[in-house]
Copies of this chain bind each other. A is one copy, B any other.
Amino acid sequence: MSVTVVGSIAFDAIKTPFGERERILGGAATHFSLAASFFTDVRVVGPVGDDFGEAEYAVLRERGVNTDDIELVEGGQTFFWAGEYEYDLNSAKTLDTQLNVFGDFQPKLSEGSRNAELLFLANIQPDLQREVREQCTGAQVAGLDSMNFWIESTRDSLVRTIGMVDILFLNDAELRMLTEEPNLVRAARKVMEMGPRVIVAKQGEYGAALFSEDAFFALPAFPLETVIDPTGAGDSFAGGFLGYLDSAGRSLDEGTLRRAMTYGSTLASFWVEEFGSERGRRLTREEIDERYELFRRITTIESVPTA
């Protein structure tokens, strides 16, 4: 079993009301890889520049992530993002984006990465996502993330890409935007008609909801008194979700999907407790399973009492 993720590897400058970091390891593929590594073997694919050094590789390798397909672009600089969060942490204001080596990225996957049983296409240009999907002939299940920018600028390409994957992760607002349907249940159904068997609507501080042909499952976010930095929450969610799914045999049955949702939410809840992936790096599988169980407890409803 193994998971391949293709997406951004980055340096982030992040400011929140609780502090700031001038330059920390970030990027969707990084957050996803670290989170998924608690469940399965992970291969990360993405470009970096000369400024990406041993310290950065070490963060990934310490969690057992295979970095062979990280492509070093000599003379280039790694993708850089600077953002600031307001007091309520709900939305980031982008202060600076430097695509750098990511601007000319053409994914080249090794045989090992192409043969992974599960593929995650993190948020990049939809044409590139399709190229990767076509290369990964070993992938029994493919997951996809995207964003409002691609819905607005390259909708047709994105819809074609959505048609090639099994599980789509989007914010609820993006699902509504994509379908022009304000009702989330109907929006999810419309997107399923484009191809995917499973739609995961990410709802930020409110949790997430999952739709499939015959299942619906919703989970509030784990209640946290300390939320420091939401960067990477969505990608660590997808990493926990798909990492667990791969480890459980990639069946999209209801029980497995519920557990995947819960692991995804659990990983995201740890991620936001510190800057970037700082909490994730110190995390243990034991801590994850403890919080999973706590999560289960605080959402349990008993049967109708027979008075």
A17 to chain B, nearest CB (A): 8
Chain A, residues 110-139, CB within 8 Å of chain B (1/0): the string is 000000000000000000000000000000
A246 to chain B, nearest CB (A): 12
> Assuming the A-B contacts A217-B299, A300-B258, are A305 and B248 also in contact, with contact meaning beta carbons closer than 8 angstroms in the complex?
yes
A273 to chain B, nearest CB (A): 12
> Assuming the A-B contacts A203-B206, A303-B296, are A220 and B220 also in contact, with contact meaning beta carbons closer than 8 angstroms in the complex?
yes
Q: Are A185 and B225 in contact (CB under 8 A)?
A: yes
Q: Are B301 and A219 in contact (CB under 8 A)?
A: yes
Size of A's binding interface in residues, CB under 8 A: 48
Q: How many copies are assembled?
A: 2
A41 to chain B, nearest CB (A): 15
Q: Check if A259 is an interface residue, CB within 8 A of chain B.
A: yes
A284 to chain B, nearest CB (A): 14
Q: Are A88 and B298 in contact (CB under 8 A)?
A: no
Please give, as numbers and ranges, the residues of chain B lying within 8 Å of A223 by CB-CB distance: 184-185, 209, 216, 218
Q: Are A301 and B295 in contact (CB under 8 A)?
A: yes
Q: Are B225 and A186 in contact (CB under 8 A)?
A: yes
Q: Check if A207 is an interface residue, CB within 8 A of chain B.
A: yes
CA distance in complex: A166, B57 (Å): 54
Q: Are B205 and A220 in contact (CB under 8 A)?
A: no
Q: Are B219 and A259 in contact (CB under 8 A)?
A: no
Given A183-B224, A206-B207, A209-B220, 20 more contacts at CB 8 Å?
A: A88-B182, A183-B225, A184-B205, A185-B223, A185-B224, A186-B225, A206-B220, A207-B220, A209-B223, A215-B298, A217-B298, A218-B223, A219-B220, A219-B301, A220-B220, A258-B302, A295-B301, A296-B301, A296-B302, A299-B301
